[in-house]
Amino acid sequence: LSKEFVFDSLQEEIHFWGSMLSQYNRTNKRKSRAFLSEGLDTECTPTELIQQWSPPHKHQRLITKGKENDDNQFVLARRSRRRKEPPAGILWDSLPDELLLRIFSCLHLQDLLRISVVCKRWHRLVFDESLWYSVDLEGLTHMGPALQQVLKTGVRRLRCPRTFVEELHFTPDLIPLVQMDLSSSIIPTTALESIICHCRLLEYLSLEGLHLSDNIICSLAKNPNLLQLNLSGCSAFSAPVVADMLKSCSSIEQLNISWCSFNNDHVKSVVNNLSPSVTHLNLSGYRESLTLDDVKVLVERCPQIETLDLSDSTLLMADVFPVLKQLQCLRHLSLSRCYHIHLAALTDLGKLFPALGLLDVFGLVQDSQLPSLKKEMPHVSINSRLFSSVARPMPASRVVSSSSEHTMWNRPCRLRFRL
């Protein structure tokens, strides 16, 4: 065969296969568009579609093959990399809420508040009511905002004695407090009303030394489960509301209502309406208001009394002992500064009260006379208690020693403010 014939045959062959390749490329281009519209990924796709679907910051490499394919440019695009495996160990986000709450329960109050800003989940868990069951805020300044926030958490046991509280601006539906100690605090009457008026579950309450109101006493009557109530040194409430409160709170076991701004009507409202369930009573400080007749009513209404404090009742004399003899369960009797009771009458107390174990007669017995009195009553501890512990959040011994341990009715508060 001649060279011309072979050359012509090869040229026709190349032209034929070139036409076939161009037709194949146009067909493949249409199929690629269809695949991309259906979300399929391919190894090599047309340039304009890659530019449309790929991130603009990625560098794309263009490749062309021959003059026949000038209008069909291709790119090489890498597939997305697989996500790296998480590092070894446990992530905080993978921990369940219950475990995080257990960890948070080991933190102090200040630390708990700091971690509340880490994320929304931690903020929600930090203010879970299980962490705020019992709170001690003693020593915290600017108590108003803090107390307002704590009351919103659903706290059950709250201790903040000797604190200064500003006005409170909130209207809760119900405050589930069970125990609260506001003894010797400085708090506006309106703020105290806003707290007490929304309590229905109180069992232990100490408002010692506070300026109260009739509304507060009426609100206390709405807590039928009240067991211990300390109103020592309180003022500014009337006799009728005291009577109504004592009638409603028929479960009271310990009542300290000493040294209040009472007159004869107040004292009679107390003794005439006390519940028979009372076992510990402090009715001291009513020099010329508490009479022998009041003691008779008291003994008749509350025969189960174990601790009785009638100190500073100057109208009482030795004829009160036959009346008190009816209290067969009496173990602690305080008659300090009842100056009309003489030493000779005290020597027979050991025979009148066989169960008596504690006797406080400060101001009636000189130090030189104590040995002879103790000889007459060897089984009785005389003048061993300086302060009454009736219905008080802290025992009398801790009041004397000023212990640093913060407790409330013999139980510590878990969440404390650390100075």
User: Looking at residues 339-348, what average pLDDT do you find?
Assistant: 91
Nearest-CA neighbor of 185 among 213, 157, 204, 166? 166
pLDDT band at residue 348 using 50, 70 and 90 as cut-offs: confident
Taking 80 as the threshold, does the pLDDT of residue 27 lie above it?
no
Q: Which two tokens stand for residue 44?
A: 């090599």
pLDDT band at residue 40 using 50, 70 and 90 as cut-offs: very low
pLDDT band at residue 361 using 50, 70 and 90 as cut-offs: very high
- Contact between residue 115 and residue 107 where contact means Cβ atoms under 8 Å apart: yes
Q: How far apart are CA 270 and CA 327, in angstroms?
A: 18
- What are the tens digits of pLDDT across the range 211-239? 999 999 999 999 999 999 999 999 999 99
User: Looking at residues 240-259, what average pLDDT do you find?
Assistant: 97
Domains belonging to the chain, first-starting first, are 1-21+94-131 (1.20.1280.50), 133-396+407-416 (3.80.10.10)
How crowded is residue 156: how many other Cβ atoms within 10 Å of its Cβ?
Answer: 18
- What are the tens digits of pLDDT across the range 165-183? 888 877 778 999 999 999 9
- Contact between residue 202 and residue 220 where contact means Cβ atoms under 8 Å apart: yes
Please name every residue paired with 411 in a beta bridge, in sequence order, or none if there are none: 408
- pTM (whole model) above 0.85: no
Q: Which two tokens stand for residue 370?
A: 């104590």
Nearest-CA neighbor of 257 among 276, 226, 235? 235
Q: What integer best gives the mean pLDDT of the chain?
A: 84
Predicted local confidence at residue 61, as pLDDT:
54
How crowded is residue 333: how many other Cβ atoms within 10 Å of its Cβ?
Answer: 24
How far lies 300's CA from each of 206, 278, 303, 318, 332, in Å?
27, 12, 6, 19, 18
pLDDT band at residue 94 using 50, 70 and 90 as cut-offs: confident
pLDDT band at residue 254 using 50, 70 and 90 as cut-offs: very high
Taking 50 as the threshold, does the pLDDT of residue 401 lie above it?
no
**Which single residue is written with the structure tokens 């161009």?**
22
